[in-house]
Amino acid sequence: MEYYEELGLRKEPFSTSPDPDFFFYTREHKECIQRLEINIRMRRGLSVILGDVGTGKTTLSRMIIKLFDTFSSQYDFHLILDPAFESEFEFVKNLASVFNIKDTARSTFEYKMLVENFLFKKAVEENKVVVLVVDEGQKLTPLHIEALRTLLNYETNEFKLLQLVILAQMEFMNKIKRQPNFLDRISLGYVINPINEEDTVGMIQYRLKKAGYRGKEPLFTKEAVSKIHQYTQGYPRKIIQFCHNVLVEILRNGDKQVKEETVVSVIRRESPWHV
């Protein structure tokens, strides 16, 4: 029997994978998705989403892909999960492969041509909106950023051929400040902040419900969640990891509910690891 079944759950409620099924629309995430959706639909080119470690960027990228998937086949999404490439050549070669371009080339220039032709064919001849989502954007080097900038130059009189969404940790901002040509092209810039207490309550309840919790009593008391919010400062990954730890704690103690005391005792035990 899995640990969560003992608590009346069907699934693991606080797994840290970026599963869209467990996504809760917090104020921060909702506004970001709405703005991103508009920017992509209007084909305005470059969107940059920044956020500290564990604020929900990867999860959000999955959500946006899923969202467009459900309402139209006009959108053609491609995803780069980890843009750490050694050279510009490796980078553009990978871009071609991400776009499913079958032809191979021998130089960076040739790969750029292949990508440009692909974008023209898709966006102009087939009337598709091609969207490239780059996660872990802080790993892009100045050369990669410059290569992406040239892709954003391809446009018709009305729209850009490529919609580029970059999700990155805050340090990316320092990088692009040194590349004003790129900075200038950002049509949507959004920073995901940690979530407030109300959304922390909402997110925990939502995930428990999704995992099948149907108990009469709430599994976490209001005071317990308030303490969790205070301790994690509203960072989604920290909240999720901490909630998992407190569930393990009540199982060990044979309790049925996470109370403020449970949270306090887990914090006390964990704090040496979080200096």
* Contact footprint for ligand ATP (CB under 6 A): 16, 18, 22-24, 26, 29, 51, 53-59, 169, 203, 236-237, 240
Distance between the two ends of the chain, CA-based, in angstroms?
A: 35
Residue at shortest CB range from Mg ion: 58
Binds 236: which of Mg ion, ligand ATP, none (CB < 5-8 Å by kind): ligand ATP
Binds 250: which of ligand ATP, Mg ion, none (CB < 5-8 Å by kind): none
Closest CA to 145 of 179, 193, 105: 179
Alpha carbon distance 178, 51 (integer Å) = 19
- Nearest approach in angstroms of CB 201 to Mg ion is 24
Closer Cβ to ligand ATP, 17 or 117, answer by number: 17
Closer Cβ to ligand ATP, 22 or 118, answer by number: 22
Closer Cβ to Mg ion, 58 or 257, answer by number: 58
Encoded one letter per residue, x for contact with Mg ion by CB under 5 A and - for no contact, window 43-62 reads --------------xx----
For residue 264, what are its two tokens?
């306090």
- Total interface residues for Mg ion by CB under 5 A: 2
Closest CA to 12 of 213, 225, 266: 213
CB atoms within 10 A of CB 211: 19
R_g over Cα of the chain: 22
In the block, tokens 């959304």 appear at 199
- Nearest approach in angstroms of CB 55 to ligand ATP is 4
Binds 59: which of ligand ATP, Mg ion, none (CB < 5-8 Å by kind): ligand ATP
Contact, 196 vs 234, CB < 8 A? yes
Contact, 112 vs 123, CB < 8 A? no
Binds 193: which of ligand ATP, Mg ion, none (CB < 5-8 Å by kind): none
Closer Cβ to ligand ATP, 111 or 235, answer by number: 235
Alpha carbon distance 128, 170 (integer Å) = 31
For residue 47, what are its two tokens?
């969107």
Binds 144: which of Mg ion, ligand ATP, none (CB < 5-8 Å by kind): none
Report the DSSP beta bridge partners of residue 51: 192
Asked if 169 interacts with Mg ion (CB under 5 A), we say no
Asked if 193 interacts with Mg ion (CB under 5 A), we say no
